[in-house]
Chain A
Amino acid sequence: MLTTVLRRVGQGVPVMLLVSVLVFALLHAAPGGPLAVYLENPGVRPEDIERLRRALGLDQSLPTQYARWLAAFVQGDWGFSLSDGRPVATRMLERLPATLELAGASLVVALLAAVPAGIAAAVRRGRWFDRAAGVLALAGVSLPVFWFGLVLQLTIAIGLGWLPSSGRSAAFGGGLADRVSHLVLPAIVLAAVHAAAWSRYLRASMIGVLSRRFITAAAARGIPRGRILLRHALRNAAGPLLAVVILDAALVVSGAVVTESVFAWPGLGALFTEALSRRDYPVLMAFLMVTSVAVITLNLAADLAHRALDPRLRG
């Protein structure tokens, strides 16, 4: 087991290094590099730019710059935001809770929709419910997320006035009910694509499990159908589903960028779009690095957890 862990971690580290090279190269491909914002600003004198260039170490060779940047990054020094001069790490940390809240809520929504739908479709395979769920799932994975957000805002928030159309809470605080009412629409929008994909995935793996002999044996022993489905079949189908859920982490980040921007949800995704419009390169770089490292770590954890839980994969 220990060698497996070390081997998988050993594969993860070069991938993280590759990501860091890609991110560094991308940001230095910009005309003018990280100082492009100042080059376009006529109020900034050339000698100031030169001073900044030297202060930031931009006059050194690219490999040196990369090594310095990486060393600083690993130590938690992510530089300063160009738009307000505060440390990038501070700005990202203060946005993290909102994003975790949204992602957590959408995970719950997606699983609440996907698990019952997937089980029911597997049990009624080929019948009308299964077909309807299949069509709905196909529509779900074909949805342009930003447009789905706009439509929900138009109909449910603006048209019917049932829920607030944007933000995380009312202007002056607001209680728990207020917070939840703000959370509902963005959580649904972020969950839709995943609920669709996961329900079909669970359906397929449930169908696989239900055709196995231990299920027939359990039925022959007179165990009630509901118990067989949940205790015997779902337990076996849940492992692979969990792996898929975690593998979709990178998709959730992309989804959060879109959802947070449409609903003005003050999380990391909204910070990213703000930074993008201001060419705030330190924030953009840190965002890509942090989310990629998180995705790689989650994948690694999922792989190891899967091995630990499934005796067949040990060895």
Chain B
Amino acid sequence: MSPRDRGTRWAFVAAGVLVAAAALGPWLAPYAPDAIDLAARRAAPSPGHLFGTDDLGRDLFTRVLHGARVSLAIGILAAALSVALGAGVGAVAAWTGRWADAVLMRLADAILAVPRLPLLMIASVILRPGVGTLVLLVAAVSWMETARVVRAEVRSLVRQGFVEAARAVGAGPVRSMIRHVLPGIVPTLAVAITLAVGRSILLESALSFFGVGVQPPAASWGNMLYQAQSTMATEPWLALFPGLSILLTVLIVNALGERLARDDASPGSRHVA
């Protein structure tokens, strides 16, 4: 999966900058995230406060940088977990076939049929999740697409001779799966994780926007928008910048996912990974 064209390289660079900005946020930020400056309340964007300030005079640029850590961490963790879960379910379904396959796939159908956001909103209201539980919840409703794709790929791989050969010389199911099937589905998993990051960030931000996701004083982009709603007409920058951050982040991640998917489809790339 070497970056083979300019577009892919740019997508990787952009994603790198994003992760670096989130990781180095506290050192890059010009202020402390909860530093109250009553003299500069509700200030419009200016050289001193790039993104303006909120009703307590807190610097919005600083808070957006800190929010990036929460939003990205939830997005990446939930994506990794959902893809791991999906790959596990898909592999088990494909390998065992018959009953377990039917039950697992009908379960996937069932969760796919329930509208995701309302389901998560109810679960959040009931469980009042912290950040860790939020990651679990998002992953719990996001593994099904990966499970379907992985199931299909594993079935077609298992039918090819090399897996059968491995089994014939005495490799157990777990070993055959890890040594012989897993390398074949790595490109698929890479694409799935990348796209899942974008989707998870959107889900978390929507939950937080409704006030049932990340709770203040922790700042995620979604709950900054939740707070900005009431003063949107007079201080539009409070709504503008957190939303732009979500859009830009998800855009970069999706662009990367699209590139990876396209590169994967090109001939000769499959065995490189």
Contacts and interface: CB of A to CB of B under 8 A. Distances in A.
Contacts of A138: 251, 254-255, 258
B117 A288 contact: no
B261 interface: no
Interface in B82-134: 106-107, 109-119, 121-123, 125-127
B225 A26 contact: no
B250 interface: yes
B232 A154 contact: yes
B118 to A, nearest CB: 6
B116 A276 contact: no
Q: Is the interface of A mostly helix, strand, loop or mixed?
A: helix
Nearest to B239: A150
Contacts of B229: 150
B239 A288 contact: no
A19 B113 contact: yes
Interface residues of A, number: 45
A176 interface: no
Contact of B117 (A143, A153, A258): A258
A284 B113 contact: no
Contacts of B202: 142, 144
Given A26-B123, A142-B251, A147 B239 contact: yes
| B115, B126, B233 pick with most chain A CB within 10 angstroms | B115
A261 B206 CA distance: 12
A299 B113 contact: yes
Contacts of A253: 115, 118
Contacts of B243: 144, 147, 150-151
B250 A257 contact: no
B198 interface: yes
A26 B206 contact: no
Contacts of B212: 276
A288 B118 contact: yes
Nearest to A299: B113
Interface stretch (A10-18, A94-102, A206-214, A232-240): A10-18
Contacts of A139: 247, 251
Interface stretch (A64-72, A74-82, A290-298): A290-298
A272 interface: yes
A95 to B, nearest CB: 14
B246 interface: yes
A295 B106 contact: no
B241 to A, nearest CB: 11
A29 interface: yes
Contacts of A179: none
A119 interface: no
A137 to B, nearest CB: 10
A111 interface: no
Interface of A: 11, 14-15, 18-19, 22-23, 26-27, 29-31, 138-139, 141-147, 150-151, 153-154, 158, 250-251, 253-254, 257-258, 261, 272-273, 276, 279, 284, 287-288, 291-292, 295-296, 299
Given A18-B106, A138-B255, A258-B117, 4 more contacts: A27-B122, A144-B205, A147-B243, A295-B115
25 contacts: A14-B106, A18-B107, A22-B110, A26-B122, A29-B127, A30-B126, A142-B198, A142-B202, A143-B247, A144-B205, A144-B209, A144-B222, A145-B206, A146-B206, A147-B225, A150-B229, A151-B243, A154-B239, A250-B113, A258-B206, A284-B122, A291-B114, A292-B114, A295-B113, A295-B114
